[in-house]
Amino acid sequence: MLNAYVTTDDPLHDFFEDDRRKEEWLKGRPVCASCGEPIQEEMAYMIAGEYYCEHCIRAAKTYLPD
């Protein structure tokens, strides 16, 4: 997870610093093979060596009537 960011007495600096750290954190995350978004959850699905996010797995769920 994200580390708690260091606060200074400059709220604007803290805001941008937090944003920058989050972006850096996201770059280190595995990317969903379907939507291409970094997976932010602690759990993901791995299918045939590729990561898939929860959203894409749900979207892929198909009803198969008898």
User: Residues in the site for Zn ion, rule: CB under 5 A?
Assistant: 32, 34-35, 53, 56
35 versus 46: smaller Cβ distance to Zn ion: 35
Helix (H, G, I), strand (E, B) or coil at 54: helix
21 versus 55: smaller Cβ distance to Zn ion: 55
DSSP string, 5-28: PPP-S-HHHHHHHHHHHHHHHHHT
The single residue listed with the structure tokens 């379907």 is 34
Least Å from the CB of residue 51 to Zn ion:
8
12 versus 43: smaller Cβ distance to Zn ion: 43
